[in-house]
Structure 1
Amino acid sequence: MALTTGSDGGRSGPKLAGGRLSRCDSGLDEEAERQEQPWGLGPDLECGAGEERCESACDSAYSSGPLDSFSSRCSLGSSSKAPAQETTFNPWAYLSKEGDTFLHLCIIHQVEALALAFIGQCSLEYLNWQNDLFQTPLHLAMYTRQTNIVRHLVVKGSDAELQDRNGNTPLHLACLYSLEESARALTQPVTAKERRLLGCGDSGTAGPRNLERQNWQGLTCLQVAVLSRNDGMVEHLLSSGARVNTQQEATSGRTALHLAVELGELGLVSRLLRAGGDPDAPMYNGCTPLHLAAGRLDPGIASALCQAGADPLLPNLEEDTPMDLADSNWNILDLCPFDDVRLRGQPVAV
């Protein structure tokens, strides 16, 4: 990487005023290596053998030493034929042709120590800077599976709801690539101890606040996790407050429960039903999850939906009920186990 100095070498960082830059490829829009590390400052994790080791490590990581040392090594000296003059490289003012700040590049090249030093000293404007693919440092830390950096960015107050060019938040990326450890680092509440160790004030609620935010495909994080067939991620999102019935994906109006039925994932269907998934939620064409199960001749999922209260006689926009979609040779009782039918007040055993 060539080291360059801007004409305003004394500026404190990229300016957000005056419009956006043109968008071009920064080279991190594909799936990266699948390796995660536990973050070092989580509420339930210790940074070392004790409090003293933790504070010592934090002081070391966030001292000005790494930046001072880097700056001294990057001074641009003059040649022997030119008048004596020296210009010092200013990493805070650097911006690549792809719109990456120096912090973006530290994360891309996985230089963790220098990235942590920058995170400890820069402003929120710098932390939330989006490159030409609208990726923040938090997006890039997700792509490169650097969970420790993810956690430090969250503690410092990075905006976890900014969206990249595909509309994905960092949490969407965690669900898409099954980054469960990074998702926990992103969503776990920040403790007073973490703020104290990083020298942060009370900057409000950290991490994503709107778990129902949709990407440009109209998918929420929960729907992305269901499509990835990730039971653990679905469980984590539900326990973190994600709601099952609040959003329908944009193309056909499917809920997370519809998606689980289409995938034939009985375990996910049962978990979503326990979380309050509506078995009679209609798609844009009026089809409920039970319509989908009947059309796919899936008696296990159909039975689970009926037991949760799904109506087998509810018509879609074409006036077809789930019973109408069942194959004529299929035992209809597998689809609709009428175990609550009563004759003269007495239950009828089938």
Structure 2
Amino acid sequence: MDYFPQIMEGEMRDPRKDKLIQGSDDRVDSGLDSWKTDCDNLSCEFQGLNVVETLIQDSEPEPWMIYCNDDGDTFLNLAIIHEEKKLASEAIAKSCRNIYYLNQQNHLYQTSLHLAVITDQADIAHQLLKAGCDPELRDFHGDTALHIACKKGSMYSVGVIIQQCKNKLPSLLQSANYDGHTCLHLASIHGFLGVAETLLSEGADINAQEPCNGRTSLHMAVDLQNADLVKLLLQHGADVNRVTYQGYSPCQLTWGRSDLSIQEMLVARTNVDLQHLPESDDESSDSESEYTDDEVMYDDWSLGGERVH
């Protein structure tokens, strides 16, 4: 087993760790770009690794199964990251139904399934799900693998997860990440109509409201001025009279926007009292009477002693 020290000592430094320190708000690429320069060398090392020969049936786990690098990635994770499909397939086959290994999360709480979706390897995702990988596990953003697939607009990955997770699909579709976004919200935000239509056909809640201000996917479509998405959502029965936490309907959000076709689609379907923005009341005289001579109406604030307007 001379190759294990060679691999475990040769590729410990994972550039994804530096990428995370720099900024990880929208990190869905798993740092793949920074790995490409080392990929050829690591692939050569992997070619000398024969998983089948090392899987001797004994009481102790094999070295490749207990291996974990500084970022918490297992051998299976690394094979997926470097798109070594043969090695990944062998590792999945030999760890079939080994729930602990298949669902092991790295320091970003990513499982092998997350990484397979991130790297657009729907075939590997299919094998992982068949072997027993849990699709409901979340990464450090609160995203399941399906959230990531919807965010990326990966129809193949979305299709694989839906096909293989029928029993858990209602829970996956209802699940919101740490930003409060469901899979349908993410597909709507990024304008992936095919993904959105697939989710809706599988029973996604079209009127689910995100927690920040209560926008539905239809509100988001109006904000993005995506007329095709508005039309799709209306065809699937989106509630045009659902209001945000501030009390605005999708139709009211169309006023002052450039695409009048969206407004035309919504006005005819919206209740009269929710078609137009409410008229602003002239409360100038009343607001003046609310303050006495000893009170000051603050319209600014200070930061570090400096006045901020």
Tell me the TM-score normalised to structure 2 length: 0.70
Structure 2 residue 195 is the aligned partner of structure 1 residue 233 = yes
Structure 2 residue 119 is the aligned partner of structure 1 residue 116 = no
State the 1:294 CA deviation: 2.1
Equivalent-residue separation in structure 2 for 1:109 and 1:258 (angstroms): 40
State the AA in 2 paired with 1:268. L
Alignment correspondent of 2:273:
313
Quick check: 1:186–1:208 contact (8 Å CA) kept in 2?
A: no
Quick check: 1:142–1:182 contact (8 Å CA) kept in 2?
A: yes
The partner residue of 2:161 within 171, 186, 205 is 186
Equivalent-residue separation in structure 1 for 2:277 and 2:168 (angstroms): 44
Matches within 5 A, 1:96-115: 96-115=69-88
Quick check: 1:176–1:225 contact (8 Å CA) kept in 2?
A: yes
State the AA in 2 paired with 1:109. H
Structure 1 residues 106-158: Cα deviation after superposition (integer angstroms, max 9, x where no partner): 11111111111121222012111111000000000011111110111122221
Structure 1 residues 42-85: Cα deviation after superposition (integer angstroms, max 9, x where no partner): xxxxxxxxxxxxxxxxxxxxxxx95233569xxxxxxxxxxxxx
Task: Please identify which structure carries the higher helix content.
Answer: 2
Alignment correspondent of 1:284:
245
Question: Aligned in 2, Cα 1:295/1:287: closer, same or farther, shift over 3 Å?
Answer: farther
- Unpaired segments of 5 or more residues in structure 1? 6-23, 35-64, 73-87, 191-203, 316-320, 326-350
Alignment correspondent of 2:299:
none
Quick check: 2:251–2:274 contact (8 Å CA) kept in 1?
A: no
Equivalent-residue separation in structure 1 for 2:239 and 2:168 (angstroms): 30
The partner residue of 1:151 within 104, 111, 126 is 126
Equivalent-residue separation in structure 2 for 1:30 and 1:189 (angstroms): 22
State the 1:297 CA deviation: 5.5
State the AA in 2 paired with 1:3. F
Equivalent-residue separation in structure 2 for 1:155 and 1:244 (angstroms): 29
The RMSD of aligned alpha carbons is 3.1
Equivalent-residue separation in structure 1 for 2:126 and 2:220 (angstroms): 31
State the 1:186 CA deviation: 1.3
Structure 2 residue 17 is the aligned partner of structure 1 residue 25 = yes
- % identical aligned pairs: 35
Runs (4+) off by over 4 Å: none
State the AA in 1 paired with 2:195. M
SS across alignment from 1:3: helix
Structure 1 residues 322-348: Cα deviation after superposition (integer angstroms, max 9, x where no partner): 3759xxxxxxxxxxxxxxxxxxxxxxx
Alignment correspondent of 1:20:
none
SS across alignment from 2:215: coil
State the AA in 1 paired with 2:90. A
Question: Aligned in 2, Cα 1:214/1:148: closer, same or farther, shift over 3 Å?
Answer: same
Equivalent-residue separation in structure 2 for 1:292 and 1:173 (angstroms): 28
Question: Aligned in 2, Cα 1:26/1:144: closer, same or farther, shift over 3 Å?
Answer: farther
State the AA in 2 paired with 1:161. E
SS across alignment from 2:274: coil
Alignment correspondent of 1:90:
63
Matches within 5 A, 1:68-83: 68-69=52-53
Alignment correspondent of 1:3:
4
Quick check: 1:66–1:117 contact (8 Å CA) kept in 2?
A: no
Quick check: 2:4–2:63 contact (8 Å CA) kept in 1?
A: no
- Unpaired segments of 5 or more residues in structure 2? 7-15, 21-26, 34-48, 281-309
Structure 1 residues 287-312: Cα deviation after superposition (integer angstroms, max 9, x where no partner): 110110124254311221133x3123
Structure 2 residue 285 is the aligned partner of structure 1 residue 322 = no
